[in-house]
Structure formats: structure tokens, C-alpha cells
A and B are shown apart, each in its own frame.
Chain A
Amino acid sequence: MELTAVGKRYGRGGRWVLRDVALAVGPGELVRIAGANGSGKSTLLRLVAGIERPSTGRVVRSGAAAYVPERFPPALPFDASSYLLRVGRVHGLSAAGARRRAGEWLDRFGIADRAGTPLSRLSKGTCQKVAVAQALMAEAPVLLLDEAWTGLDPGARAVLDEAAVERAAAGAAVLFVDHDPNRLAGRTGAAYRVGPDGGLRPVAEGPEPVVADGPVMEIEVELPDGAALPERLPGGPEAVALGGALVRLTVPAGHSDALLRALLLGRPGVRVLAVRRREGERCGGSDH
């Protein structure tokens, strides 16, 4: 996905919302777009989605995009599951596949019981969950999240965090706009800011970039009876069975917060017994 010398203004002689923007996002990258209100962040995402055309320059995108709009309309006369089914079909899923993924995402956001409720009768947050599920279920090569976290409860925000990271891990280019500066901190590959002049400049991201050679954290967890660890965990921890239901996970420190969050919020719910820093050792060294 690449933007070259992209400019956008509305009407002849209008203000340049975006000017001379160059941005390349490769597969597997998670990129944050920051900027003040009305600075053109949403416009940038809409240009990438193909909803608007640039006034100058070119937008090249490989494959379809999945887009979460800033405001999702509850006026849409569908119920949640049939809307997801229809959009899944548009994204090229089979009827059975679309139905299955719609069910999975409604379940993951904890609104499976409201699958048959018309969108107009859902609360704002629940409607937003449907809007997010609509984009995630497509598993499109480009994912565009325009303040998709707004209106979600903390649990759903964590699910969306994980889903965005998962999509990037699966090779999608993920572009997101959010007002929380800590959103996906440490997990974004790059961050850009849309300036008041419409230019797009890179900004330093996060307090600490994750270094594979950095300090290592050990997390000991107890699994509920017979359960296995969730498959995709942030940071790709190394798991060692300690006998019984105890498992020790080893992960670079930069990933430990995300891993803990995934463990605590995931299913099955594991119990975290200990978190400690492993002193004097390097991950990826010759010790294994």
C-alpha cells in the first residue's frame, strides 16, 4: 500500500487538508496516524480506502480494504448477524464462512446474544462492535481503523488491540487513528502526524521500542483444568511446563504487558501466579 505525493482539498481553491503526503505501508506493518481534530487523519484513511480520490498524486493499494468508519450509522435497517453475513459475502467469503466468522466475532465481543437485534435498537457501543467486527471478519490485506476504539468498553478495546496486532501478524497492513497516545504503544511499527499544513511527518513512537535482545520477563501461570494456552500470544512467548497445571512463559520485556493483558482477558482465563524479571540473561542467546 503506497501513497505518492498525495494532496487533497475540497473544491477548487479550498484549504489543502493533505499536501504532498508520501506513505508506504508494507504487509505486516501496524502504523499509527496522529494529528489534531480536523487535521485530515480521517481523510487520509478514506483516501487509502478508496472512498475519496486524491486531488493530486496517487494511491496504490493491493487487494481489498476493510474499513471501520468514524461513525457507524445505526440507521442501517439490518440486524447484527445478517449485516455481517452480507458484508462478509461482499468481501468474498462463502455463505457458510461468513456466517461462521460473524458468529466468532460477535462471540469474541460478547454480543452473540444480540445477533438478531436490529442495529437501530443496539446501544452505541454495541453498534460500534458490529462496525469493528464487519472489518475484522473480512481478514482483508489492508485494515483501516478510524477511531474504532471510541465508544467501546475496556474489554472490547483490548479485543480490538489484540485483533489489530493479530491482523498485522497475519500479514495485513494496518493503519489506525486514535486519540489515545498509548493505543497499541510498543506494538506499532511506525507513527506519523498530520501537521496543520497538511504534511505527514514521522514521529518517534512509544517510550521503548521492543528489542529482542533486551531484558526478559518470566510469567508463571496456572491453567484451568485440562485447558491449553491460547494459540496466538503477543511476543511469541517460550512456554515451559513446570508440572501440574503450572506453565512458565518467557518473553522479551517489551511484550510482557501485552502478554499479561492477553492472558488475563483471554479464554480460557488463566491465573497469573508470578511475574518477575530474569536477571543477567539475554533472550535469543545461546542458552537454548
Chain B
Amino acid sequence: MRRLGPLTRYHLELLVRSHAWLPPFLTFVLLLVVGVSAGDPLLGGLGYGAGVLVPVSAWYVRGVLTAEPAASRACLVAAAGPARVHLAALLAALTAALLSAVGGVAALWWTSGPVVNPGAGADPGVGRALLAGLAASVVCVLSGVLAGAVANRPVPVRSPYGILAALGLAAAALVVPVSPANAAVRGVVTAARTGRLCVPWGQLLLSVVLVAVVGAGVAALAGRRPE
């Protein structure tokens, strides 16, 4: 795993230089601007922002994976092996999405009004609200990376269907009750009404394990079916 660091750095630079980070990032910003107004309660905004991160993270994955031409990828594969190259691409997308998540949480905090909705029973405090919002955002980022990893190369999905598959998976991650992203967002949004806040540690752990397993599987698949 010694070469994973430089490979991730390569893919991050590729993402930045190819401007492939811009569409998902601008979409994230746009959806935040449309969905949250200045002075809204913090927890509601954090829940919404976390939910938006699921499709945005899947898009980052697609951006990284499509920014690399096959021939230059071949040079990297010769040096470091296909599994490592693919894993590094996923890590680069994860890094970009996590940076967006942190920026999003900071922006929502900056523009927010009270922590909970008016009439809520209790006030958990800004610190705990931010912690819960950040944890929920990370859960959603991980779910989005998962959706992106499954809906792109090397999983045999033909190009236009890849976008649809990623969107479908992202929507499913947000809607299906057993998904960690759904539970985390639901927890934060409900807390905005009731004031009873739980930081979604369980969902965070579950999604980390899911991403690790699926990431390893997809990377192994990249070694088996290279193109």
C-alpha cells in the first residue's frame, strides 16, 4: 500500500486540473443555495446538506474515473497494479467529497439561525449539532462513493446507464430505511423538530465497513477485468 499515497495525489491533481470537480461541486453549492436560506434552523440545513452529498459524491467518483485516459492509466497500472490504481481513484473522490462536506457544514453553520426549529422541546447546542451534522455528512459521502464505485468502471455498466445507475443508487441510499444515509439524515432532520439529537456513530461505522468491503471488491474486479 506504499504507493497509494502518490497515486491518490495523482488522481486528485487530475480531478483538479481536468476541472472534473467543478460540475459536482457547483451542483452541491446550487442545491444548498436553493434548499437552505439564511437564518434557517441549523439542524434542518445540516440534514438537507448531508442528503445532497450522496449524489454529489457519486458524481465525484465518476469525474475521477472518467478524467483518466486509458493509455496514461496503463502507465500507472504497469507501475502499481490495477487494484491500487482503482483504489486510489476512489480515495481521491472520497477526499474531494469530504472536503465539500466540511465546507458545506461550515457554510451552513455560518448562515444558520437557531439550532432547532421554533417550538422544539430541547436545544442540543451548536457543538453537538455540528458534530451530528458532520457525522451525517460523512455517512452520506461514503454512501455516495459506494454508489459511484458500483455504477462505474470496472463494474460492467455501459456509459450512459452508469449515470442513471449512480443516480438510482444514490436515491435508494436516501430513501430505503435500512440504508445508513437514510437513517443519518432522518436522525438529524427529526432532531431539528424534537431537539433530541443522537450523533449517528452506528451509521458511520456501518458505512465505513460497507465502503471498505465494496471498495476492496471493486478494486479486485479492476484487476480481473482491466478494461
Q: Which residues of A contact B (CB under 8 A)?
A: 46, 49-53, 64-73, 75-78, 82, 86-87, 89-92, 131, 134-135, 138, 140, 144
- Contacting residues, chain A, for B227 (C-beta < 8 A): 52
A221 CB to closest chain B CB, in angstroms?
A: 38
Task: Note all chain B residues with C-beta closer than 8 A to A66.
Answer: 75, 78-79
* B9 x A49 contact (CB < 8 A): no
Q: Can you spell out 18 A-B residue pairs with CB atoms less than 8 angstroms apart? A: A49-B78, A51-B74, A51-B82, A53-B225, A64-B78, A66-B75, A66-B78, A69-B74, A73-B71, A73-B72, A76-B68, A76-B72, A90-B3, A90-B6, A131-B75, A134-B75, A135-B75, A138-B79
A101 to B86, CA, bound (A): 26
- Chain B residues 1 to 33 lying within 8 A of chain A, measured CB to CB, are 2-3, 6-7, 9-10, 13-14, 17-19
Bound complex: CA of A69 vs CA of B76, how far in Å? 11
Distance in Å: Cβ of A33 to nearest Cβ of chain B: 16
- The one of B10, B17, B81, B82 that contacts A89, using a Cβ cutoff of 8 Å: B10
For residue A91, which residue of chain B has the nearest CB?
B79
CB of B67 within 8 A of CB of A77, answer yes
Contact A73 B74 (CB under 8 A): no
B78 contacts A50, C-beta separation under 8 Å: yes
Q: From B73, which residue of chain A is reached at the shortest CB distance?
A: A51
CB-CB under 8 A for A90 and B224, given A49-B74, A73-B72: no
For A78, the closest partner residue in chain B by CB is B17
How long is the Cα–Cα vector from A66 to B7 in the complex, in angstroms? Answer: 15
Q: How many residue pairs, one in A and one in B, have C-beta atoms under 8 Å apart?
A: 85
* Cβ < 8 Å to A, chain B residues 213-227: 223-227
Chain B window 39-80, contacts with chain A (Cβ cutoff 8 Å), 1 for yes, 0 for no: 000000000000000000000000000011111101111111
Report if A77-B18 is in contact (Cβ < 8 Å); known contacts: A53-B224, A86-B6: yes
Contacts of B82 in A (CB 8 A): 50-51
> Judging by beta carbons under 8 Å apart, are B79 and A140 in contact?
yes
Interface size of B by CB at 8 A reads 31
Q: Please, which residues of chain A bring their CB within 8 A of the CB of B77?
A: 49-51
A86 touches B78 (CB 8 A): no
A89 close to B13 (CB less than 8 A): no
- B residues less than 8 Å from A131 (CB atoms): 75
A46, B227: Cα distance in complex, Å = 11
Whole-angstrom distance from the CB of B83 to the nearest CB of chain A?
10
Report yes or no: B75 in contact with A69, Cβ–Cβ below 8 A: yes
CB within 8 Å for A77 and B17 given contacts A67-B78, A90-B6, A91-B79: yes
Q: Which residues of A contact B75 (CB under 8 A)?
A: 66-69, 87, 131, 134-135
Q: Which residues of B contact A82 (CB under 8 A)?
A: 13
A50 to B9, CA, bound (A): 22
Output the least CB separation between B87 and chain A (Å).
13
Give the contacts of B126-146 with A (CB-CB under 8 A).
none
Q: Which residues of A contact B6 (CB under 8 A)?
A: 86, 89-90
A67 engages B72 (CB within 8 Å): no
CA distance A89 to B67 in the complex (A): 20
Q: Which residue of B lies closest to A138 (CB)?
A: B79
Q: Return the contact of A73 from the options B3, B69, B224 (Cβ within 8 A).
A: B69
| Chain A residues positioned under 8 Å from B81 (CB to CB) | 50
A143 to chain B, nearest CB (A): 10
CB A84 to nearest CB in B, in angstroms, measures: 11
**Bound-complex Cα distance A82 to B13 (A):** 10
> Which B residues are in CB contact (< 8 Å) with A50?
77-78, 81-82
Contacts of B10 in A (CB 8 A): 86-87, 89-90
Q: Can you name the residue of chain A whose Cβ is closest to the Cβ of B20?
A: A77
Residues of B within 8 A of A76 (CB): 14, 68-69, 72
Quick one: closest A residue to B85, CB to CB? Answer: A90
Decide if A90 touches B7 in the complex (CB within 8 Å): yes
In the bound assembly, the distance between CA atoms of A50 and B226 in angstroms comes to 9
- Name the one of A46, A77, A144 contacting B14, with C-beta atoms under 8 angstroms: A77
A133: min CB distance to chain B, Å = 11
Min CB–CB distance B66 → chain A (angstroms): 11
In the bound complex, CA of A49 to CA of B78 (Å): 5
A71, B7: Cβ atoms closer than 8 Å: no
Distance to closest chain B CB from A234 (angstroms): 27
Q: With A53-B224, A86-B9, A86-B10 in contact, do A46 and B74 touch (Cβ < 8 Å)?
A: yes
A-B CB proximity, top 10 nearest: A73-B69, A67-B78, A89-B6, A49-B78, A77-B17, A69-B71, A65-B78, A77-B18, A86-B10, A51-B74
Measured between beta carbons, the chain B residues less than 8 angstroms from A138 are 79
Q: Do residues A65 and B226 form an inter-chain contact, with CB atoms below 8 A?
A: no
A83 to B174 alpha-carbon distance, docked (Å)? 39
Contact A72 to B72, CB < 8 A, known contacts A52-B226, A53-B224, A77-B18: yes
